[in-house]
Amino acid sequence: MLKAVNKIYLTLIMFRFSLRKFVFGFENASRMLQFVDKRAINAILRRNGAVVGEDCDIESPLIIHNCVNYRNLTIGKKCHIGKDVFLDLRKPIVIEDCVTISMRSTIVTHLDVGASRLREHGFSKVSKGTVLERDCYIGANSIILHGVTVGACAMVCAGAVVTKDVAPYTLVGGVPAKKIRKIKRMDYSLNG
């Protein structure tokens, strides 16, 4: 009985998303990710172009900005994306397998000062993709800026602002984020 109810719920949510997309546009429909039950998020993302691996736990609300579909989003297997995570999809965001993005974190893929006179000082538009490699951890309220790659098994402390690539097996923290220490590599081949 519960499976049937879930199937009906997902069908209704998908219909509602499609209707909002048709009537009001994609950006308006995308706002639904901020209030739908988390059971619907994976289905909405997949149906609208994202690649989402198996066993992903994506919490609601999820805030996605700067897109006309979700094709710039790739999420690997067994990932966790916490509540209130903000994803800027102007350029691709690649989240590899077993990545954790804690609540209220932000991933930005562009900088645009608009019509500001800052353009005269060399601040022009910049758009670059962001990669979170396998098994990395992004702490709560962290900000990952455009063009950054967070290496495999790296850990970003809560509240950090990551402006440069993070090497694999490295713990970083602060504003801007700096290396705190290396993380000991484990021999995973022994664990199957």
Here the CATH number for the domain that contains residue 136 is 2.160.10.10
Give the global pTM.
0.88
Residue 159 lies in a domain: yes
Residue 63 lies in a domain: yes
Residue 67 lies in a domain: yes
Residue 16 lies in a domain: no
Residue 32 lies in a domain: no
By annotation, the residues acting in catalysis are 110
Residue 10 lies in a domain: no
Residue 13 lies in a domain: no
Q: Domain total for the chain?
A: 1
Helix (H) or strand (E) segment spanning residue 126:
strand 126-127
Helix (H) or strand (E) segment spanning residue 47:
helix 38-47
Strands (E), 26-122: 51-52, 57-58, 62-65, 73-75, 80-81, 85-88, 93-95, 100-101, 106-107, 110-111
CA angle 62, 38, 80 (to 5 degrees): 70
Residue 1 lies in a domain: no
* Token pair in block for residue 140: 């709560």
For 96, other C-beta atoms within 10 Å of its C-beta total: 19
Tens-binned pLDDT, residue by residue, of the chain (192 aa): 778 888 888 899 999 999 999 999 999 999 999 989 888 999 999 999 999 999 999 999 999 998 899 999 999 999 999 999 999 999 999 999 999 999 999 999 988 767 777 667 777 777 899 999 999 999 999 999 999 999 999 999 999 999 999 999 999 999 999 999 998 886 554 443
**Residue 138 belongs to domain spanning:** 50-183
Q: What residue has token string 């990669």? A: 131
For 24, other C-beta atoms within 10 Å of its C-beta total: 11
**CA dist., res. 144 & res. 108, Å (int):** 6
